[in-house]
Chains A and B, each alone.
Chain A
């Protein structure tokens, strides 16, 4: 009698899915922007608002765009990792200071050190929306053609730096 075993079979399939589900993070949303050109922007620099920075300036370079803010708690967590990375001088890190006050942001960098080649201010968070930012910090790896290759959601850790970001950067730089 096959039909009486059917409920059990359905349940086994469900249990497998639930088991896989336990190891997934429902809150992590992959970006559809990976593999697409990074949205272009021109924004005032944090330290010298009179000057601006434009994504067009970065053509031909592999670079990291790190979204941060002085009010962001987990940014503190990744900050030493970024400091270390900038000392190694492997890849330039550009900061997008997201929805922040200039004074707070400068104070924050003064206290904790400034790992960024330069930071730009996205005071109203509009560029954040262009990039699909939904939680700070986020880090984008952008290649020489200006295409987003990877997006790190949440803090950069030594682990995902050595396992994901740095190998990718090396590969992109070699191209």
Chain B
């Protein structure tokens, strides 16, 4: 029976006429807007997925809710406010800038300034500290040893490749 079914399914395309595929969404433009917003929102019941990609039932309900509110003419910000009022900031993947998130948003750039500052300071300090190339006798010997090490086999290798 199943083989027959498979056979039939296999033959179907030959008979079927070609229609143009329809978008799943009734209003593709609105759907695009909904997905764009939903990508910035967190699916609450999932481990860590956006509202846009989740298959969870609550996510589907929330997408429907967002879609309906968009149809009612609400702005993205109004919809975000609506969801935050019910689920808290947790629902946002893009946390709002406020006092408690200052470190989150500006911390990396503050670190960058500090890092560049320390680097510049260190580089300047080095220049004044190391007046002459300061190599101890021991270090000089070791450096010479290293040079010797890397030179010898290089010659060996050259011979190898030329041969």
A and B touch in the complex (CB under 8 A): yes
Q: Any chain A CB within 8 A of the CB of B153?
A: no
Against B, the Cβ 8 Å flags (1 = close, 0 = not) of A122-139 are 001110111110110000
Report the contact-size class of chain A (Cβ under 8 Å from the partner). 10 to 19
Are A32 and B85 in contact, CB atoms less than 8 angstroms apart?
A: yes
Beta-carbon nearest neighbor of B45 in chain A? A134
Are B62 and A129 in contact, CB atoms less than 8 angstroms apart?
A: yes
Question: Which of B61, B85, B86, B87 makes the CB contact (< 8 A) with A125?
Answer: B61
Q: Any chain A CB within 8 A of the CB of B148?
A: no
Report the contact-size class of chain B (Cβ under 8 Å from the partner). 10 to 19
Q: Any chain B CB within 8 A of the CB of A50?
A: no
Query: Knowing A129-B65, A135-B45 touch, does A32 contact B87 (C-beta < 8 A)?
Result: yes
Q: Which of B44, B65, B84, B86 has the most CB of A within 10 A?
A: B86
Are B44 and A29 in contact, CB atoms less than 8 angstroms apart?
A: yes
Are A131 and B86 in contact, CB atoms less than 8 angstroms apart?
A: yes
In the assembled complex, the Cα of A31 lies from the Cα of B62 at a distance in Å of 17
Q: Any chain A CB within 8 A of the CB of B73?
A: no
Q: Within B62-113, which residues are at the interface with A (CB < 8 Å)?
A: 62, 65, 84-88, 90
Summarize A's interface: helix, strand, loop or mixed.
loop
Are A130 and B86 in contact, CB atoms less than 8 angstroms apart?
A: yes
Against B, the Cβ 8 Å flags (1 = close, 0 = not) of A22-39 are 000000011111000000
Beta-carbon nearest neighbor of A124 in chain B? B61
Q: Which residues of A contact B58 (CB under 8 A)?
A: 125, 134
Query: Knowing A129-B65, A134-B44, A135-B45 touch, does A99 contact B86 (C-beta < 8 A)?
Result: no
Query: Knowing A134-B44, A134-B45 touch, does A29 contact B62 (C-beta < 8 A)?
Result: no
Are A29 and B88 in contact, CB atoms less than 8 angstroms apart?
A: yes
Beta-carbon nearest neighbor of A3 in chain B? B118
Beta-carbon nearest neighbor of B91 in chain A? A29
Least Cβ distance of B78 to chain A in Å?
15
Least Cβ distance of B137 to chain A in Å?
26
Q: Any chain A CB within 8 A of the CB of B57?
A: yes
Cβ-closest 6 pairs across A and B = A132-B86, A134-B44, A32-B88, A29-B90, A132-B87, A125-B61
A-B contact list, 24 entries, CB within 8 Å: A29-B44, A29-B88, A29-B90, A31-B86, A31-B88, A32-B84, A32-B85, A32-B86, A32-B88, A33-B86, A99-B57, A124-B61, A125-B57, A126-B61, A129-B61, A129-B62, A129-B65, A131-B86, A132-B86, A132-B87, A132-B88, A134-B45, A135-B44, A135-B45
